Amino acid sequence: MTTSVLLRPRALSPGDLVVIAALSGPLHAVYEPDLERAVVVLERMGFRVRRAPLLEAGRGHWWSAARPVEIAEEFNGLLRDPEVRAIVAHDGGQTALGYLDLIDVEAVRADPKPILGYSDISLLHLVLYARAGLVGFHADLATPGLGGHWQAAPAARQAVLEQLYSTLLTSDEPIGALPATPSWECWRAGRAEGRLLGGVINRIVLAQATPYALPLERFDGAVLFWEEMGGYASYVWSNLQVMRHCGILDRISGMVVGVPHAIDGLGTDGSPTLREIVLDVLGDRDIPVLGNVEFGHAGPNLPMPVGIRAALDAGQRTLSLLEPAVRPR
């Protein structure tokens, strides 16, 4: 069952509890300092921070922090706990597909709260948006993001991001224009306005292959955002072709592409650039495209709240959030 009603979490207040949880991959001991730095960032924003029990260095099952049923049980407990006001995924990975059918969607509807993360967490955002209308926070993960990429960024950029995340979580006023940088590129000029939908591109395609897929009409007029890491340039082309075949590209009003990360065969030795791949698959569709925007695995991430209306002007290289991501307390 899907819903088209938008469900905004309640705005956070200073002192609210934010829990960092292992919603997919495990915590390797070498990254414990990064996780500790992520806690400091969240505390500096004014929140209390707790680690969920499964987030323990050295704990794991195959490529996951635990068995999918265990992760789902802990996740559901956080969704049901009224003290928990936001959940930040520690990292991505390869596990969310294993428990999409175990999530307590009624708990989400009863007490919606921000869930932050990208990569594998894209599946949670898309599925919970489809099933409950929940605004998902496609934003930095705790360990590789807040405690990793953020620490390597210039101090001024860190300050901008910290303020941006804090405002997004605590204010029921629209953010407006996201802070652009010279890396943003106009790949096809034009303007569009619609709901932000997206995530890592392979997870968008996988989500659409489950019973919890977004109905195609939910893509009508949407601003599709996506990014990718790893694999080959041909995989990106193939995933875009899947979205063409299933009709998504005929319905969206605009596209925003994140900074690619570690993709083999991209713009080298006669291979196409990411821009060339996108324009090749879009063909003559008159869709504005803004490329090389800072969200995704290249990090640090600008937040891209799933379900929120956004305005894109690719020629002017601007992307603005027209609605708040949270509702008043």
Residue positions annotated with a catalytic role = 119, 227, 297
Strand partners, 17: 48, 84
Nearest CA to 21 among 67, 58, 65? 65
Which DSSP state fits 314? T
Residue 251: count of CB within 10 angstroms of its CB: 17
Where on the phi/psi map is residue 307: left (φ > 0), alpha (ψ -120 to 50), or beta?
Answer: left
Nearest CA to 196 among 59, 63, 306, 39? 306
Report residue 311 as tokens: 């305005």
Nearest CA to 12 among 42, 54, 50, 34? 42
Please state the φ and ψ torsions of residue 184, each to the nearest 5 degrees: -65, 135
Contact 319, 2 (CB under 8 A): no
